[in-house]
Structure 1
């Protein structure tokens, strides 16, 4: 669309109509990271040519895909680098998996440790990327939002929240994601570009390299694969989880969705507790020596109602709890974590 006047007023609020997407060049900001590298794989398998934009990373998660994607090294804080990447490769669509991190800290911890940098990357950097994409005539931008835009579960009247429930984040990371959504809505009104926040739950899968809640859960699988004891400290409540392959597939689904699309979707994998995970691991590895120390959650998010995304895109996750456990106990997963 060329202007906000093209928005169909008969659609639900914050929806945009567009034509079906064709396979072509897609710029992937943060394409060398955990989720981003799986997005790149999904794009390649779907016939797209990904262009990875971002700084160099110490680990190569795409060595087996060499020659099937392009790389443009640059910072999301650099207007000139962004414009140069769009000018050189002329992508028609963008996927952004960018978020501020500190070493191997998780994204929540990184936000608390370096709040200024978190706002710089997650909000201002997001805005620079969107502005550069608009200047280049990009039609759709899909980016990794997060379920942390919601407040604590206790703040909501129901156990599950949908996209119409209020955002009330209590963490720096959460508020940067909410602000990026507000900025995206402004860009939609100003430029008529399609921008979609994918409110992802906790993501697990091969290649997870940073620490945080996901790494605490991943320790259960690592210990079982390596036949060593493990002690896991976590709460026992149900939480939303998703395999990283499904997260990438969901992002590709909305990138290729003919429309209408909305500016934010809850993305649903499956619900499970750490107890469910440990029991599923023990069912497959009876000798697994895992001690669970229960604590109260520091922050318990509400469970997500993902029906809107599922109904509009017909997307169905490939992995449930059993499938995720099987995958993360496989020899392939062991190699990915070496």
Structure 2
């Protein structure tokens, strides 16, 4: 596909956070796009371009995927979750590893070779079920025999994200925010840059068999991110850094609260700074956007 021009791209998870930004860019690049979603709600349809086709079905169903892939030139897998029920890793395993294995089999059956797989920075490293499951999904992709490209972003920032917008919601309610692992460091990457990385890789044969670590040009501690969010709203909020013991306790309690603001697995992921010395965006010819310059757009 990288040498034959635009083609038909099937996007799993295309109605989600990253997908809503990726689909328009695929269309602008001349691709025909089909989005697979379990249930097409009015909100999902409104968020997607009318130029994109949508098919409802279960991405865990190999038959559904084979049917969706029959005339595809490439598949993009954005399916993911940040939290799961319980704390045994079964949910992450099903969503990351299970879907990857099912779509790989369906692609072979349908004769589709090009796969772009969303992963995460530090996949397979550390103790969190999230990262370990991401790592096992990567292994399945690497051993698939397909023409794959893997993307490992730091936390992705954009309107409706799970970082700035999540803290914004908490800061509306709380005069002070107790924060476990307040010194954890992130390199937030702008969601449009992530979308552009996927589009660029489709046109670049050299991206096949490669990993791209996607990070922004700025590094912030978790405490700095909270303070930035508060200032952008004109709020004055205290950040109380918790000891490791209290941070673990906060996570154990938080996973049972409405909205699950933090979980024990989030806490395990936070033990690794989400930073990289490798600039995958630059490798694809993309200049990374400073997220701080986009903060008002994110919160709007």
Q: TM-score range by the shorter chain?
A: 0.7 to 0.9
Distance 2:86 2:209 in 1: 30
| Change beyond 3 A, Cα 1:293–1:59 | farther
| Change beyond 3 A, Cα 1:59–1:144 | farther
Using the TM superposition, give the Cα deviation of residue 96 of structure 1 relative to its aligned residue in structure 2, in angstroms.
0.6
Counterpart residue number, 2:257: none
TM-score (norm 1): 0.71
Cα RMSD after superposing both structures? 2.7
Using the TM superposition, give the Cα deviation of residue 323 of structure 1 relative to its aligned residue in structure 2, in angstroms.
1.9
Distance 2:186 2:290 in 1: 13
Counterpart residue number, 1:127: 101
Distance 1:46 1:292 in 2: 44
Using the TM superposition, give the Cα deviation of residue 196 of structure 1 relative to its aligned residue in structure 2, in angstroms.
1.6
**Does the aligned pair in 1 maintain the 2:168–2:230 contact within 8 Å?**
no
**Does the aligned pair in 2 maintain the 1:123–1:177 contact within 8 Å?**
yes
Residue 151 of structure 2 aligns to a residue in which SS? strand
2:212 to 257, 261, 265: 265
1:120-169 Cα offsets, whole Å, 9 max, x none, are 221122111122122223231111101141xxxxxxxxxxxxxxxxx433
**Does the aligned pair in 2 maintain the 1:229–1:288 contact within 8 Å?**
no
**Does the aligned pair in 2 maintain the 1:219–1:232 contact within 8 Å?**
no
**Does the aligned pair in 1 maintain the 2:11–2:78 contact within 8 Å?**
yes
Residue 143 of structure 2 aligns to a residue in which SS? helix
Q: Does 1:203 align with 2:163?
A: no
Q: Which runs of 5+ in 1 are unaligned?
A: 1-17, 102-106, 150-166, 209-213, 334-338
Q: Does 1:97 align with 2:74?
A: no
Distance 1:247 1:171 in 2: 23
Q: Which runs of 5+ in 2 are unaligned?
A: 248-266
1:150-204 Cα offsets, whole Å, 9 max, x none, are xxxxxxxxxxxxxxxxx4331111111111111111112xxxx211221111122
Counterpart residue number, 2:37: 54
1:277 to 225, 231, 238: 225
1:41-89 Cα offsets, whole Å, 9 max, x none, are 22123222210113015462451644211111111221111111122xx
Q: How does 1:207-286 map to 2 (within 5 A)?
A: 207-208=160-161, 214-215=162-163, 217-221=164-168, 231-234=176-179, 235-269=182-216, 270-278=218-226, 280-281=228-229
Distance 2:93 2:183 in 1: 32
**Does the aligned pair in 2 maintain the 1:194–1:263 contact within 8 Å?**
no
Counterpart residue number, 2:136: 179
**Does the aligned pair in 1 maintain the 2:213–2:281 contact within 8 Å?**
no
Distance 2:286 2:122 in 1: 22
TM-score (norm 2): 0.79
> Number of paired residues?
272
Q: How does 1:30-109 map to 2 (within 5 A)?
A: 30-56=13-39, 58=41, 60-63=43-46, 65-87=48-70, 90-99=71-80, 101=81, 107=82, 109=83
1:321 to 291, 294, 300: 291
Distance 1:33 1:76 in 2: 14
Counterpart residue number, 1:170: 127
Counterpart residue number, 1:4: none
